[in-house]
Chain A
């Protein structure tokens, strides 16, 4: 191949001469050759903006930019933005406003902001949105990013304000993310940013068909390629060939049958990515296509071919309470509907990646962005036929996850690679591979019938929920169990019949996604409640107040709620806020555009519950240098749990937050725990940290009492040491640590916390045998009410969300800014679910293959969001706190649908509410009128 001189350019102020492959993109050059890994690879297709750099001051995505296109130009990356000892005002503003969550989109976002502010020092909000419209963020909901840009513009004009900015500390305050500085500098090491000496690169051979028999697999030609170290197939899986936390039925590598296009058949490990890709093309797989099943309805037909030995029903459950017939007889109004919701892709910015290796002690170690390191370790032990102690899983920072990095992605392939090759192996999925493999929010088909008496009391709900589990079990049984528990929303319903199915198909793998089955059910129940309110001439807030769960009420699954039930408080807060804003909202009405207001409430479990052990541990160690190490059972995926746990620890201990170093996500260093799931970590890991810290504090003071002969009751931890209130003397922890060390002792506390026992809905025995006052499905619940204001263009059917009001109960706000960030990000995702997002397949073949096609909201789509936090303390949580990270996704989707109805009289039963559906609804209404 002819080599063209790539030429010189200026990179972050330094002249560089790039040589070699002229096909190389600037992004690959920056990352692979220069190890400037702050510039991220989110899609390699110009869609996401994570790879944004400045070329001669203009923001350009580097993923498709050839090196020769920058010859002679000035290239600036995030690493060139500021010196190590200082922050650029844009970086400082992102940190101060909480505009950073997972940090994967952040460097590219900051680069775009730099270009904007260089051009327009005081941009309007409109100009900010326009400049950032191709930088996708899936975590923040963009609200705090807009705030950050405004603040940065101000700080650039008035640097003295930035310098005098006080950093918040303490429980209940918006302490900046403790990994935030690394994120805004682009130096937080995500899995794909890791490079190891002698590392091999893995590439996967995917199934070509949604359902087929593998007749033969020929790797002979591919094996001869240069730099090919191994091509592993099902024969190379040492133990059980399957992953999955409930039922390990998803093959690590398929032997003779594939059940969806995300099935892996072989994995190549080679010295370079290019060699691995070449080999992938040379592997020959002969298939015999099998008839596929492309909907759960097809799967349930008697003649349908079974996808698994046990048939096509992954889970079926029926739950009845009261007398459904009697309930409907008492009803004055009955509303019913058939609802359909699509598969949805999580669309985190970081594609799955990881590294596997065998360390010097012979421990097989996996670095990967997993939400659940202990569960992955357990599954890998079976796959490798090794004891769990010989395996270590370290969660790298997660560039967003939202539930999809809970199940195995690349971990098992990395494990067998490292096992056989004894060299570090790396796999990074492309965006297309990530979309093909990763789990999705389940598609649901729901039939609901709801009866209310003339006063608006819910009398009966009959609900059938059918979910598409896809090819393997994953978490589908628990998702449908949860959908059934929450099928009637945060309301009292005396007579209930709820039936749920999860059914195997050859579509996408359905599993966890923020909300975990509740989102789908909320679409149905909240839409029908809206319809019922109209029939009964009740205000949408009023009908929710009438039925709202309160302390002492039973949920439909039979749990008596005892504490921290804030349904009514959220309804009242949302209603009051709407009244305050109503005049402004009305003023926005223009000709041809109709304004509508929609309301919905929701509640969601905090903690995994349903019979699963909700545990976490915390280990405190006083280091020889006087610093405190906290090894906490938690995983941070951008939500900021590491910061929150340090806030809890510092509050209990009394020391300053900066004295504590936290370690999370490492199976070798932390105690086992139930993963970053079910918005449980603040409640469960937070409680473990709180209780461990109490013990640690008392140990520290006891030791000080013993060494220095001071009265225990007069000792307090403050700042970096212990003060004696009676004498006023101060013992720095460095001193105490020295004494501990000299005495040959350790100062360490280990605490393992388990939440009270819970039961699944499917566990019928428990409902009969457990005393009602002890029966519970979950450790706790979070409640919310949201209002959406939309504008509908009656000629085009386009829906624009103008405003969202979100009232949330969080128990106690340990870090208000982080909670707002969770709410705003959830609202953006729930809005995408309502209006634009869907993962579409045609007979098992994905039609949505790129990031752009997923329909994820951009900064230009986001309305103003007003968050209100209600603090109704949860006694089980640390300082009364509970979870918040998922519940906010629940009501926003039906609130938007209800607002569309309010504006147009069109009720959308099939998500997403795209303009063509809204317009078709408007047309058929007009036809009826004529």
Chain B
């Protein structure tokens, strides 16, 4: 099975990309690493007339730390995210999530922008970015807009981006002091598999009392879009995180999601796993022992 004929364009500036998007946004698809798009095109799930290659656009790349936070260009490869010292030090949970994307081979090609714009409910970086309260910076000829990643996804394979917009970068604020985080992913097998359930947790603790001041919890693969578990967050905040409370938090999380059945797992199983993984991710954040979650 071959790809349907399409025109392939490789602009070398953001200006040219935006002009193309303005003119032909309906008919084209942008491509970065190609790990998702090319498979979809081959399967004829999408058949664009034009494909715009972004890899030569300098404005979209680079990871930079400044006074306020971290700027991550949309073209940043997962392999870079998992190993860049500034990410590992300041935004560890993102490095951990990037490490769980596919294989080393996929991580050498796939970009964070592509992973997010493809809007898979199971995208590995999404829950981590959600708990980090990442901002997506969208750009078009009309100008730039910044939205919280929480309102970026519109449904499976859908985002709120307009036809003439592209994702330029992700911005992450500094993580508050005394924050602890963890990302866990459950698949059918250890590799070559999508997440059945994934959970990211970021807890900001009061250093003296052991009270959780601020909690951020997000899940992937159990709702049409990766989503924050806001009830669970509220439940955790202001409390001392004892074993029994963590167990209850898992139950709260379980009530927040309505996963579906498919050939990989039943809805019932996924619902059950929301509880188990949320509980384990909280424990892992706090450095409590958890069984090696086989992924």
Residues of A within 8 A of B (CB): 1-2, 4, 22-23, 44-47, 49, 52, 55, 58-61, 64-66, 68-69, 112, 115, 130-131, 133-134, 136, 273-274, 277, 430, 432-433, 590-593, 793, 795-798, 800, 836, 840, 847-848, 852-853, 855-861, 914-916, 919-920
Q: Do residues B192 and A136 form an inter-chain contact, with CB atoms below 8 A?
A: yes
Q: Do residues B191 and A134 form an inter-chain contact, with CB atoms below 8 A?
A: yes
A917's closest neighbor in chain B, by CB?
A: B269
Q: Which of B241-285 contact A (CB under 8 A)?
A: 263, 265-266, 268-269, 272-273, 276-277, 280
- The verdict on B147 contacting chain A, using a C-beta distance below 8 Å, is no
B1-35 Cβ-contact flags toward A at 8 Å (1 or 0) = 11101111110000000000000000000000011
- Contact (A432, B1) CB under 8 Å given A68-B10, A916-B266: yes
Q: Do residues A133 and B291 form an inter-chain contact, with CB atoms below 8 A?
A: no
- The verdict on B238 contacting chain A, using a C-beta distance below 8 Å, is no
A856's closest neighbor in chain B, by CB?
A: B192
B275's closest neighbor in chain A, by CB?
A: A795
A832's closest neighbor in chain B, by CB?
A: B189
B268 contacts which chain A residues (CB < 8 A)? 916, 920
Determine how close the nearest CB of chain A comes to the CB of B213; give it in whole angstroms. Answer: 28
- The verdict on B167 contacting chain A, using a C-beta distance below 8 Å, is no
Seed contacts A45-B42, A134-B191; 5 additional CB < 8 Å A-B pairs = A23-B8, A591-B289, A798-B186, A855-B188, A916-B269
A880–B191 alpha-carbon span in the complex (Å): 41
Residue of B280, B290, B291 with most partner-chain A CB within 10 A: B291
Determine how close the nearest CB of chain B comes to the CB of A921; give it in whole angstroms. Answer: 12
A22–B192 alpha-carbon span in the complex (Å): 29
A136–B189 alpha-carbon span in the complex (Å): 13
B193's closest neighbor in chain A, by CB?
A: A852
Determine how close the nearest CB of chain B comes to the CB of A46; give it in whole angstroms. Answer: 6
A64 contacts which chain B residues (CB < 8 A)? 34-35, 38-39, 42
- The verdict on B103 contacting chain A, using a C-beta distance below 8 Å, is yes
B55 contacts which chain A residues (CB < 8 A)? 69
A848–B291 alpha-carbon span in the complex (Å): 31
- The verdict on B294 contacting chain A, using a C-beta distance below 8 Å, is yes
Partner of A847, one of B1, B104, B109, B263: B263
Give the A-B pair count, Cβ closer than 8 A.
134
Q: Do residues B8 and A915 form an inter-chain contact, with CB atoms below 8 A?
A: no
- The verdict on B106 contacting chain A, using a C-beta distance below 8 Å, is yes
Shortest beta-carbon contacts, A-B, top 8: A134-B103, A916-B269, A592-B291, A133-B191, A860-B190, A64-B38, A858-B191, A795-B276
Partner of B190, one of A69, A797, A858: A858
Q: Do residues A915 and B269 form an inter-chain contact, with CB atoms below 8 A?
A: yes
- The verdict on B207 contacting chain A, using a C-beta distance below 8 Å, is no
B208 contacts which chain A residues (CB < 8 A)? none
Q: Do residues B291 and A915 form an inter-chain contact, with CB atoms below 8 A?
A: no
Partner of A796, one of B6, B191, B294: B294
B192 contacts which chain A residues (CB < 8 A)? 47, 133-134, 136, 852, 856, 858
Q: Do residues B8 and A66 form an inter-chain contact, with CB atoms below 8 A?
A: yes
Residue of B7, B104, B263 with most partner-chain A CB within 10 A: B104
- The verdict on B66 contacting chain A, using a C-beta distance below 8 Å, is no
Q: Which of B33-55 contact A (CB under 8 A)?
A: 34-35, 38-39, 42, 53, 55
Determine how close the nearest CB of chain B comes to the CB of A498; give it in whole angstroms. Answer: 33
A69 contacts which chain B residues (CB < 8 A)? 34, 53, 55
A45 contacts which chain B residues (CB < 8 A)? 39, 42
Q: Do residues A855 and B269 form an inter-chain contact, with CB atoms below 8 A?
A: no
- Contact (A919, B269) CB under 8 Å given A1-B7, A860-B190: yes
A689–B45 alpha-carbon span in the complex (Å): 54
Q: Do residues B293 and A793 form an inter-chain contact, with CB atoms below 8 A?
A: yes
- The verdict on B151 contacting chain A, using a C-beta distance below 8 Å, is no
- Contact (A861, B104) CB under 8 Å given A68-B53, A591-B291: no
Partner of A46, one of B10, B106, B265, B291: B106
B109 contacts which chain A residues (CB < 8 A)? 60-61, 65
A2–B263 alpha-carbon span in the complex (Å): 41
A796 contacts which chain B residues (CB < 8 A)? 186, 273, 276-277, 293-294
Q: Do residues B190 and A861 form an inter-chain contact, with CB atoms below 8 A?
A: yes
B51-68 Cβ-contact flags toward A at 8 Å (1 or 0) = 001010000000000000
Determine how close the nearest CB of chain B comes to the CB of A892; give it in whole angstroms. Answer: 17
Chain B count of residues within 8 A CB distance of the other chain: 47
A432–B1 alpha-carbon span in the complex (Å): 8
- The verdict on B178 contacting chain A, using a C-beta distance below 8 Å, is no
A521–B289 alpha-carbon span in the complex (Å): 42
A391–B176 alpha-carbon span in the complex (Å): 77
Determine how close the nearest CB of chain B comes to the CB of A3; give it in whole angstroms. Answer: 9
A422–B272 alpha-carbon span in the complex (Å): 62
Residue of A23, A273, A858 with most partner-chain B CB within 10 A: A23
Q: Which of B159-202 contact A (CB under 8 A)?
A: 186, 188-193
B105-132 Cβ-contact flags toward A at 8 Å (1 or 0) = 1101100000000000000000000000
A52–B103 alpha-carbon span in the complex (Å): 12
- The verdict on B156 contacting chain A, using a C-beta distance below 8 Å, is no
A796–B106 alpha-carbon span in the complex (Å): 27
Q: Do residues B2 and A273 form an inter-chain contact, with CB atoms below 8 A?
A: yes
- Contact (A836, B2) CB under 8 Å given A4-B9, A69-B34, A916-B265: no
B266 contacts which chain A residues (CB < 8 A)? 916
Determine how close the nearest CB of chain A comes to the CB of B185; give it in whole angstroms. Answer: 12
Residue of A433, A914, A916 with most partner-chain B CB within 10 A: A916
A840 contacts which chain B residues (CB < 8 A)? 263
Q: Do residues B273 and A61 form an inter-chain contact, with CB atoms below 8 A?
A: no
- The verdict on B292 contacting chain A, using a C-beta distance below 8 Å, is yes
A591's closest neighbor in chain B, by CB?
A: B291
- Contact (A44, B42) CB under 8 Å given A277-B2, A796-B276: yes
- The verdict on B102 contacting chain A, using a C-beta distance below 8 Å, is yes
A65–B265 alpha-carbon span in the complex (Å): 31
Q: Do residues A134 and B105 form an inter-chain contact, with CB atoms below 8 A?
A: yes
Residue of B102, B268, B272 with most partner-chain A CB within 10 A: B272
A66–B55 alpha-carbon span in the complex (Å): 12
Q: Do residues A914 and B188 form an inter-chain contact, with CB atoms below 8 A?
A: yes
Q: Do residues B5 and A1 form an inter-chain contact, with CB atoms below 8 A?
A: yes
A46 contacts which chain B residues (CB < 8 A)? 35, 38-39, 106
Q: Do residues B188 and A915 form an inter-chain contact, with CB atoms below 8 A?
A: yes
Q: Do residues B269 and A61 form an inter-chain contact, with CB atoms below 8 A?
A: no
Q: Do residues A23 and B35 form an inter-chain contact, with CB atoms below 8 A?
A: no
Q: Do residues A22 and B8 form an inter-chain contact, with CB atoms below 8 A?
A: yes
- Contact (A52, B53) CB under 8 Å given A4-B10, A836-B188: no
A919 contacts which chain B residues (CB < 8 A)? 269, 272
B290's closest neighbor in chain A, by CB?
A: A592
B79's closest neighbor in chain A, by CB?
A: A58
B38's closest neighbor in chain A, by CB?
A: A64
Q: Do residues B105 and A49 form an inter-chain contact, with CB atoms below 8 A?
A: yes
A274 contacts which chain B residues (CB < 8 A)? 2
Q: Do residues A133 and B42 form an inter-chain contact, with CB atoms below 8 A?
A: no
